[in-house]
Structure 1
Amino acid sequence: MTTNVTNSLATVRNLGILAHVDAGKTTVTERVLYATGTTHKRGEVHDGTTVTDFDPQERDRGITIFAAAVSCTWAGHRLNLIDTPGHVDFADEVERSLRVLDGAVAVFDAVAGVEPQSESVWRQAERHGVPRIAFVNKLDRAGADLDRAVASIRERLHPAPLVVQLPIGSEQSFTGVVDLVGMRALVWPDGAEAPEEGTVPQDLYDEALRRRRLLEEAVAERHPAALEEFCGRETLSAPTLTAALRDLTRSGDGVVVLCGSAYRNRGIEPLLDAVVAYLPSPLDVPPVRGEYEGVERQRPADPAAPAAALAFKVQATPTGRLTFLRVYSGTIEKGDAVWDASARRTERIGRILRVRADRHAPLERAVAGDIVAVVGLKSARAGTTLCAPDDPIVLEPPGVADPVVSVAVEARTSRDTGRLASALARLAEEDPSLRVRTDAETGQTVLSGMGELHLEVAVEKMRRELDLEVTVGRPRVSYRETVVRGVSGVVFRHVKQDGGAGQFAHVVLDVEPLPGPGFEFRSAVVGGRVPQEYVRAVEAGCRDALAEGPLGGHQVTGLRVTLTDGATHVKDSSETAFRTAGRLGLREALRACGMVLLEPVAEVTVTVPEDAVGGVLGDLAARRGRVTGSTTRTGTALVTATVPLAELFGYAGRLRGRTQGRGTFTARPTGYAQAPATALTATR
């Protein structure tokens, strides 16, 4: 790799903006674009003038729904930035984005601190090993408190927060920050385009020294080189402190915390400096790993290496189908033939585009470290690997969560039935967390997603973009069935003879409950009574049987199946016969087991005025909610409860009515719990 290439990759930052809904993610992104000169007017969420929330539904609802990529430059560095949704219904958009990012900025509300979805996206980033820095936003609001927000970060997220700034002023009088690393003041006068740098205000000097000392001690405790200097000099120089903060951020042993007010344009320039200083470049992350035909492979971030890119988003536009790629290695040029390693077919790159939300600039090539959109790919989906045809690799795709809410959809007129099928296929292609199926009993088309809002957005998209009128049924949740009492020694013989070669398979199964969700299969057959290839066929058959349980035809989870014995026929046994025996045998065993119905539950956080708490608690109890916590601050109560998802349909309107429009809530799915007996009748 040449020096020029190394220097170029070292100046790239691929990062996401993560937060709870309404914490100010999109406003932070808009101010970043303005500060970097990418835009010449500050976009506002409330005015519907933002760059990244460009979809009509996003502007109407005032929230981010679709992850939007933008590219800008700061201090000689290229920042490829993805503004992600904050609403829990669109968590899969965050998941797909995090899969291709090298770093992230987590935005927190200075009044609310860590909120439920803040915690969820933080854990998602942690699972992907994405280094983060934190930005405590909205310090100009009444009740804003940096120390309290940092305490909630420490208590709920469990990182080591390394606070590198001290606010100057509070609430409406917040005007700037003290940079504790450089021991300087940055003040943004009203209407100023950039901060004014000066000395630390005299009334804050002692507090700044105290906090700088705490920062040095926290860093020295976690970084060997910093500890060595600290022990020798009893202080840390700014270069040593900066280098140590960078190392701790990239290793995940510490989280740099900055603060500001994005709406008032205060704190954005230091945040950009921190992104450049602390978050990793493509060269700082390990080579991406994958496999092909069972052989593990890896690709370094080198434009001269064989090409490897991962598609993480597909978007249909009036001008063509865009496939968003993170290029991990190699170089992809316009007109190149690439190998779709997932579909095992050759694709051709039509155009390559540098993305700025809904606007694009053409490129001749994309190199390792780039995030771009390409036109011309026909089969690529989110999770598809594109690579050099002569050196294939399959990269790990982003995970896709199981949907929890379903609605029946049908075209308003019979002549639109074909258009509806095409529209649903397009929606599922763009958003893998949407699932479409046909109900075997009713013949209805069922659309499943991650929540009520998720499905509302999908249906509205069909109406707006495709001019398709559809009728939507009442939402239904996705139930599960599980085993609470197992059975042993269930014998099943599959014998079929209809001329020619027959089918014969004999299996003996034990079924027992499994702690937690999932399915386990194991074989205890001895003496080779069932050959290994038939054991695998029995397992496949058992997995087939999990699709429909005996209580109401719901998916079965939380069980362990053991194949204890079996028998074969010298001529008539086959993998097909044993797969059939596994499927039918497990179905028979489940009918003999003790089974219960599981329903999805959510952690609900309700924010209401103190005088409305009683009515809210009563309503939650009526919805089978179990209150797990309640706190009060500045006249507002936060109530946390676990509530069955089925009971939350229409809750937003009910809450507004009970609180005269002052109450809000968030819901985060947390798993499944046993449903009451009455739910069994309702789901049949």
Structure 2
Amino acid sequence: MTSPLRNLRNIGVIAHVDAGKTTTTERILFYTGESHRMGEVHDGNTRMDYDPQERKRGITINSAAITVHWKGTQINLIDTPGHIDFNIEVKRSLRVLDGAVVVFDGVAGVEPQTETNWRLADEYRVPRIAFVNKLDRTGADFLRVVAMMSDRLGVRALPLQLPMGEEDGFRGVVDLVSMRALIWDRDDAKAPVREDTVPDALRDRAEALRARLLEAVVEMDDGAMAAFLNGDDVPVDLLKSCIRAGTLRGAFVPVLAGSAYRNRGVEPLLDAVVDYLPMPGEARGYEGQPEADPNGPFAALAFKLVVDGHGARTFVRVYRGRLRRGDQVFNANTGRSERITRVYEVHADDHLERDELLAGDIAAVVGLKDTLTGHTLCDRSHPVHLEEIVVPEPVIDVAIEPRRQADSQGLSKALQALLREDPSLHVRHDADSGQTILSGMGELQLEVAVENLRSRHAVDVVVGRPQVAYRETITGVAEVRHVHKKQSGGPGQFADVHLRIEPLARGEGFRFESQVVGGAIPREFIPAIEAGIRRAALAGIVAGYPLVDFAATVLDGSHHERDSSTMAFELAAAAALREAVAAAGPEVLEPVMAVEVITPPDHLGDVIGDLHRRRGQVRGQGQRGNAAVVEAHVPLKEMFGYIGSLRALSSGRAQFSMHLHHHATAPIGTLESTA
């Protein structure tokens, strides 16, 4: 039996930084009546970027949720960051969304972070529509961006509109579904869109594009296909139904056109969200996702935490059942029950209290003490584990310490709050230096985290120079037997561990297995062996960097009835790992970034030469509008301070973006030069 569907859309807005994503979102808020004035990023007064750091920097840092209504449909919308350092915000948002609007810059087209976010949406099977923005800009080309989508993203990009006018003359679109012109006579947001006939100058091109549209979408419905083959007109409602079916199946991606800043194309974009993106439970979703049945046993995923002066708010997506204020929920990850004290519908930084949530809702709850990002909340009598959110490994470290010794405890509490909010931040204690090491995805993320320590948590810290987060690994297999034996008059210590280690593929982390039989090592000591291995791996073996991508197997060992203990086996396992790594071909890994540089052609040679000096490998060159594009792989260590060098090389005209591509063996001499 099919579960009831709600006239609700859970969507995200995703894009590369500066594609106009937040501006598009602000227009959506205005046209849906949620805001009575439109905020502007450059004025620092947007509704969605309400954090002081976001307004100061002019970028989105935190994903922000808001509820709006359009033509009888409720839309829960999440505005996500475009900067790669805050990619965890995109990842956890896409995990709980049913659909997405991907915003493209009409000049730049498919940019690196757009591509990264697109792959994440593929991973979570999120249906998308595309909005080609900034078509009023010099060099904007709608059909070129459509072609780039097909080429770089490997999708069937299907234009539903054709722009009317180019660059500064952009004034409307031809709707290829209804074959009507939609015209905005003024930039004023309150000026209504005017419908008209298709201009004669665009009719041939519009009809050709519509024919391609029909060919693609009639495959979704036998009746539409029959009408098309007979040469009959396909009714608009049936055509929209076919577009919707293809979008939900991932057969193609509808593409719309506009200029959000000039208030052109936003109303048709909202219509497309309602017409073509799925209701809860309608899309394919991930394997094992429960049906969106409001009457079924409760199941929800916690995907974001916000800790502030008012306590902790947990953002949840309800997949099945209902959640009421005062309910007890079971955390399937911790095995504990917790009580919901408040339930809120979210409107950016405002919250509207609700009595209950239903399947499909995205909202905030208060009262959860031990729930973290990725935890499943459910009915204790119907336990379920929803697919968790995979957190990327950090690539950059900074050492931090309190400016005053009296702030040590405050720093510890503040760091714990930051880690609860952002699971892509890591903290560890360096045993050699005694320093606290904060790790993250990039310099900007760490800058923001440090500023939050100072402004939100009132902890003044001293920050070291950013360092690359190197890793250690092994290249071969090794077996060792280590006996830990100590006698000092009283009870002794004895543990005998036979250990084998072998390399895993990049990114697989750590795997532990015990093959001990016959009670050679009592079962209660096996967890201590794993703990010893984990502790030694985290501290590093060769150069003090965490050891990753290896499997450890306990093959055999022995114990003493009186002198064996948990501590003895933990110490023996740590020592065994150190011996085994030394024999298994250890090496140090460094993060290598995928870098894209956009530069005026007359500076191309200087840019490429500079990338080579940074140990970069140029992977390709191309043209984007009147600019040259260089794609390269460059070690992260060589990219510190790159923006200053690039500006000097190009008289301030070039720009770049980068994201982690892979880890590679660090050449001899690299580590010494980081000291």
Whether the TM-score (by the shorter chain) exceeds 0.5 is yes
Any idea what the Cα deviations from partners look like across 1:591-630, whole Å, max 9, x if unmatched?
Answer: 1232221101111112222233233223222222222222
CA shift at 1:317, angstroms?
A: 3.4
| DSSP 3-state at the match of 1:671 | strand
Are 1:177 and 1:186, in contact at CA under 8 Å, matched by a contact in 2? yes
Which aligned pairs between 1:283-294 and structure 2 lie closer than 5 A? Answer: 283-285=281-283
Partner of 1:41: 37
Q: One-letter code of the match for 2:85?
A: D
Segments of structure 2 that go 5 or more residues without pairing to the other structure are none
1:401–1:525 Cα change, 3 Å: closer
1:327–1:562 Cα change, 3 Å: closer
Which residue, out of 330, 345, 354, partners 1:363? 354
Which residue, out of 146, 152, 155, partners 1:150? 146
Are 1:287 and 1:301, in contact at CA under 8 Å, matched by a contact in 2? no
Are 1:491 and 1:506, in contact at CA under 8 Å, matched by a contact in 2? yes
Partner of 1:186: 182
* Aligned equivalents of 2:590, 2:623: Cα separation in 1: 31
Partner of 1:621: 612
* Aligned equivalents of 2:401, 2:48: Cα separation in 1: 32
Which aligned pairs between 1:649-668 and structure 2 lie closer than 5 A? Answer: 649-668=640-659
CA shift at 1:132, angstroms?
A: 0.8
Are 2:499 and 2:552, in contact at CA under 8 Å, matched by a contact in 1? no
Which residue, out of 482, 500, 507, partners 1:492? 482
Partner of 2:326: 335
Which aligned pairs between 1:247-396 and structure 2 lie closer than 5 A? Answer: 247-285=245-283, 299-396=290-387
Partner of 2:68: 72
| DSSP 3-state at the match of 2:217 | helix
* Aligned equivalents of 1:513, 1:349: Cα separation in 2: 45
| DSSP 3-state at the match of 2:357 | strand
* Aligned equivalents of 1:389, 1:527: Cα separation in 2: 36
Q: One-letter code of the match for 2:106?
A: A
Q: One-letter code of the match for 1:262?
A: A
CA shift at 1:542, angstroms?
A: 4.8
* Aligned equivalents of 2:198, 2:520: Cα separation in 1: 79
**1:405 to 2:393 alignment:** no
* Aligned equivalents of 1:513, 1:234: Cα separation in 2: 63
Deviates more, 1:644-653 or 1:176-185: 644-653
Are 2:63 and 2:80, in contact at CA under 8 Å, matched by a contact in 1? yes
CA shift at 1:226, angstroms?
A: 4.3
Deviates more, 1:160-169 or 1:391-400: 391-400
| DSSP 3-state at the match of 1:51 | coil
Partner of 1:54: 50
Partner of 1:128: 124
**1:593 to 2:601 alignment:** no
Q: One-letter code of the match for 2:54?
A: E
* Aligned equivalents of 1:625, 1:508: Cα separation in 2: 39
Which residue, out of 19, 23, 31, partners 2:19? 23
| DSSP 3-state at the match of 2:42 | coil
1:520–1:411 Cα change, 3 Å: closer
Which residue, out of 38, 60, 82, partners 1:86? 82
Are 2:494 and 2:560, in contact at CA under 8 Å, matched by a contact in 1? no
**1:442 to 2:438 alignment:** no
| DSSP 3-state at the match of 1:677 | coil
| DSSP 3-state at the match of 1:16 | strand
Are 2:495 and 2:560, in contact at CA under 8 Å, matched by a contact in 1? no
Are 2:173 and 2:182, in contact at CA under 8 Å, matched by a contact in 1? yes
Segments of structure 1 that go 5 or more residues without pairing to the other structure are 291-297
Partner of 2:7: 11
Q: One-letter code of the match for 2:660?
A: P
* Aligned equivalents of 2:85, 2:392: Cα separation in 1: 11
Partner of 1:138: 134
CA shift at 1:561, angstroms?
A: 5.3
Partner of 1:99: 95
* Aligned equivalents of 1:82, 1:327: Cα separation in 2: 15
**1:518 to 2:516 alignment:** no
Deviates more, 1:257-266 or 1:461-470: 461-470
1:524–1:26 Cα change, 3 Å: closer
Are 1:523 and 1:535, in contact at CA under 8 Å, matched by a contact in 2? no
Deviates more, 1:423-432 or 1:386-395: 386-395
CA shift at 1:369, angstroms?
A: 1.1
**1:159 to 2:149 alignment:** no
**1:566 to 2:562 alignment:** no
Count of aligned positions: 670
CA shift at 1:227, angstroms?
A: 3.6
Partner of 2:599: 608
Deviates more, 1:265-274 or 1:534-543: 534-543
* Aligned equivalents of 1:469, 1:506: Cα separation in 2: 46
* Aligned equivalents of 1:224, 1:646: Cα separation in 2: 57
**1:63 to 2:59 alignment:** yes
Are 1:287 and 1:300, in contact at CA under 8 Å, matched by a contact in 2? no
Q: One-letter code of the match for 1:182?
A: S
Deviates more, 1:280-289 or 1:393-402: 280-289
* Aligned equivalents of 1:164, 1:407: Cα separation in 2: 48
* Aligned equivalents of 1:535, 1:578: Cα separation in 2: 8
Partner of 1:546: 537
* Aligned equivalents of 2:150, 2:574: Cα separation in 1: 49
Q: Percent identity?
A: 49
Q: One-letter code of the match for 1:209?
A: E
| DSSP 3-state at the match of 1:262 | coil
* Aligned equivalents of 2:197, 2:228: Cα separation in 1: 24
* Aligned equivalents of 1:506, 1:307: Cα separation in 2: 46
Are 1:286 and 1:300, in contact at CA under 8 Å, matched by a contact in 2? no
1:586–1:227 Cα change, 3 Å: farther
**1:114 to 2:110 alignment:** yes
Q: One-letter code of the match for 1:366?
A: L
* Aligned equivalents of 1:469, 1:134: Cα separation in 2: 44
Partner of 2:469: 478
* Aligned equivalents of 1:537, 1:419: Cα separation in 2: 32
Any idea what the Cα deviations from partners look like across 1:643-663, whole Å, max 9, x if unmatched?
Answer: 111122222223223333322
**1:214 to 2:205 alignment:** no
Are 2:478 and 2:581, in contact at CA under 8 Å, matched by a contact in 1? no
CA shift at 1:339, angstroms?
A: 2.8
**1:170 to 2:161 alignment:** no
Any idea what the Cα deviations from partners look like across 1:49-68, whole Å, max 9, x if unmatched?
Answer: 21101111111111111000
* Aligned equivalents of 1:628, 1:454: Cα separation in 2: 27
Which residue, out of 241, 244, 248, partners 1:243? 241
Deviates more, 1:117-126 or 1:591-600: 591-600
1:633–1:566 Cα change, 3 Å: closer
CA shift at 1:387, angstroms?
A: 2.6
| DSSP 3-state at the match of 2:66 | strand
CA shift at 1:107, angstroms?
A: 0.7
CA shift at 1:341, angstroms?
A: 3.2
Q: One-letter code of the match for 2:81?
A: P
Partner of 2:453: 462
1:447–1:172 Cα change, 3 Å: same
* Aligned equivalents of 2:221, 2:561: Cα separation in 1: 68
* Aligned equivalents of 1:579, 1:183: Cα separation in 2: 73
1:226–1:441 Cα change, 3 Å: farther
CA shift at 1:490, angstroms?
A: 3.5
Are 2:529 and 2:573, in contact at CA under 8 Å, matched by a contact in 1? yes
| DSSP 3-state at the match of 2:400 | strand
CA shift at 1:168, angstroms?
A: 0.9
* Aligned equivalents of 1:465, 1:452: Cα separation in 2: 19
CA shift at 1:367, angstroms?
A: 1.4
Any idea what the Cα deviations from partners look like across 1:95-128, whole Å, max 9, x if unmatched?
Answer: 1111111110111111111100000000111111
CA shift at 1:198, angstroms?
A: 1.8
Deviates more, 1:108-117 or 1:585-594: 585-594
| DSSP 3-state at the match of 2:390 | coil
* Alignment root-mean-square deviation, CA: 2.9
Any idea what the Cα deviations from partners look like across 1:490-516, whole Å, max 9, x if unmatched?
Answer: 34345567877974435263x554453
Partner of 2:201: 203
